[in-house]
Chains A and B, each alone.
Chain A
Amino acid sequence: MSATLTAPALDGAQVKRASRLPRLLSLTSVAVAVGLAVSMLVESNTVMSLLTQAVIYAVFALGLGFLLKQNGMVSFGHALFFGLSGYLVGVGASLTGSVGTVVVLTIAGIGFFAFALALVIVRVPGIAFGMLTLAIGQSFYVLVSKSRGVTGGADGMSIEFPPRVFGLEIGAFQDPASMFLISWLALVALVLALSLLLGTRFGPLTEAIRENEERVRFIGFRTLLPRAVVFAISAMVTAVGGALSALYTGFVSPESLHWSVSGTVLIMVVLGGSRTLWGPAVGAVVYYLFRDYVGEHTTHWMGIFGVSLIAVIVLWPAGIAGGVMHAVERIKRGSGRHA
């Protein structure tokens, strides 16, 4: 007993971390297997292209959800990072043949930009922060719509990609079946990376900041930097989504920076549930499938979607992921009691 008491806190944490890793890795391999299975089993190109879109937006939602989960902050301006990433990849591709480098530089650049921005804006509290991000995002929307030359203004920009990107033929990025797999693997890798990051002290620290920022300072941590880092990571994940979208569609337009895009993705996040990393991704897929299905049968999809959104939010405050987790826990507890 006394032996464990000498340094129990650290040991406990290490034990927990050690037991997390194999579980994470096995979940990751299951996720990869699911992706492979879907890409092989789904024959319809229509369904495949829908799923590809959904997964690209799932990456976007993952980024926005990460901000909400670790920072408790709502951004109405994340489309900025999504759209800007697409434009940077597009402009970069027109300047150099090495699109892989361009994509990496774009994501890093957006990370720096978001970090610097966050240092200024994260002090703004609550809903005003949301409105501030909206204002910044809309400013860029206006700038890109107005600008001529490289971005093509309101007409959007077609991107001419070189024949090979990241060592793959460009066709692989533009065919739904293969692009689904690429996006899916990116999504899984990002979820894994973020999970590992949250397994370090960064996880509880940012969680604590979200819960009670002032108290965190009174236990001896500065809070500005971690919050800015969360914002930057969130922007970078979103930027990965933007780059995937640009690769897949070969087209970017100012509309991809519009606040309504941020709003839609925020709905995906809340629909899926922001208490887990994977919740927002589930939300994105459900949103796409739902809209496709309802949109096919009625022109009133907006109203139906509005009603469903309200119903889900009211009935399942923790979103779909929260509902699923709750059900799983009940089953576990139930079987535990019987055993």
Chain B
Amino acid sequence: MKTRRITNLLAAAVLAVASGASLAQAKEPIRIGMVTSQSGGFTAQGEDSLRGMQFAVDEANASGGVAGRRIEVQIGDDESTPEGGRRVAEKFARSGYNLLVGPIASSISLALGQNLQRWDALYVSTLSKSDRITGDSCNMRMFQANHSDAMDLAIVQPWLKDNAKEKRFAILANDYIWGRDSAESFTKAAQKLGKEVELSVFAPIGTKDFAPYIAQLKNSGAEAVWVALVGRDLIAFAKQAAEFGLTTSKRIIGHAYIMSFVVKATDSATDGVWGVLNYAPEIDTPRNKALVAAWRKKFGRDPSENEVAGYSGIQVIVQGVEKADSVKPTAVASALSGATLDTVWGPAVMRAEDHQLVKPNYVGRVKRVGGELRPVIETAFEASIATPAPTTCKL
């Protein structure tokens, strides 16, 4: 009796698999290699973006695939290092999963970009921000779906001009290339508007106790502080800034600060912090509304910016395959170059000159919405302001 039931079940399963297979056989599946950080310094962001990518894939497969193609994925851990990312990506690409997406650190994205030709692969960057991805390291097979650093900084000056009464600023940034660049750009933007930067302090990456820096910031005459810190440092700073009352005495404006994982990891410490915001659920486009509704149905909450970044990366690949009607990386790449894509930010052009996705950007603030603390958009900047012109890239 029991045996027969199992046999029936098996038969049904075989049938289901067979019919799925016959569908997939119609066209070659889309094979995506998701290379993301499951260990090391970027683990938390990696988990978020992976959830977003997986959601996009499930959504597409549930609706019968993309133009008759199913999506198949491989998921690998880049250990938050370029070496690890390169190893996993090469393995995926060489075994046919040559549409790559996922890394967080820019160094990993750049290491992949270097090898795409050799592996016959294509890569869509979704969480890296380095300008070099669309600058001196750009190439035919690499696409930037994320907001680049240049984009984040491009809106600082227009925002300061119309929205900031403060005259004097201080800067706290991590002591490495990204933090220094951010500080430099902010200083330029402020000075152009006749404002002053009274103090710039740079904390080494991996700083645990920010008290010495907070004391300097508090002691300065600045009315607001521009903060450019990464990951764990940022979380430690956020908590300690609140502890010392810095958050209430000066306006804090963050470069990559007001993100859901930071807000969640610091209780109410980020309440009232301002900053550049790449995504928020209230963005008013049909695609975003649909995403937020579906996400709420599945997870009972709004998607975070990292989750949406992952989601959008898969969207770019999927639309590239649709337009090319091929899964060959070269075909997908030429279809994507210059194409207008349907994104959660509305229609957006994948700029042919440097493969930067041209999209709007926002400044927001952490607020309580329905009892829950989250970043909320305060000012939106349209794509023409938010996306600076191509720089050194020659494609």
Contact = CB atoms under 8 A, between A and B. Distances in A.
Interface of A: 44-46, 49-50, 53, 142, 145-146, 148, 152-156, 158, 174-175, 249-251, 253-256, 258, 261, 292, 295, 299, 301-302
A295 B176 contact: no
A155 B177 contact: yes
Interface string B313-344: 00000000000000000000000000000000
B82 A146 contact: no
A255 B82 contact: yes
Contacts of B86: 249, 251
Contacts of B91: 46, 49-50, 292
A295 B114 CA distance: 24
B392 to A, nearest CB: 14
B107 A253 contact: yes
B261 interface: no
A295 B76 contact: yes
A158 to B, nearest CB: 5
A287 to B, nearest CB: 12
Nearest to B178: A154
In terms of DSSP, what is the predominant structure of the interface of chain A?
Answer: helix
A53 B132 CA distance: 27
A253 B95 contact: no
Nearest to A256: B83
Given A156-B82, A253-B81, 12 more contacts: A46-B95, A146-B175, A154-B178, A155-B110, A156-B107, A175-B118, A249-B115, A251-B115, A253-B111, A254-B107, A255-B83, A295-B76
B111 A249 contact: yes
Given A145-B205, A155-B107, A250 B114 contact: yes
Contacts of A155: 106-107, 110, 130, 132, 177
B289 interface: no
Nearest to B137: A158
B90 interface: yes
15 contacts: A49-B90, A50-B91, A146-B176, A148-B180, A153-B176, A154-B107, A155-B132, A156-B82, A156-B107, A158-B110, A175-B118, A249-B83, A255-B81, A261-B83, A299-B38
Contact of A53 (B38, B87, B111, B176): B87
B82 A295 contact: no
B110 A299 contact: no
Interface string B29-57: 00000000011000000000000000000
B176 A46 contact: no
Contacts of A295: 76-77
A9 B204 CA distance: 59
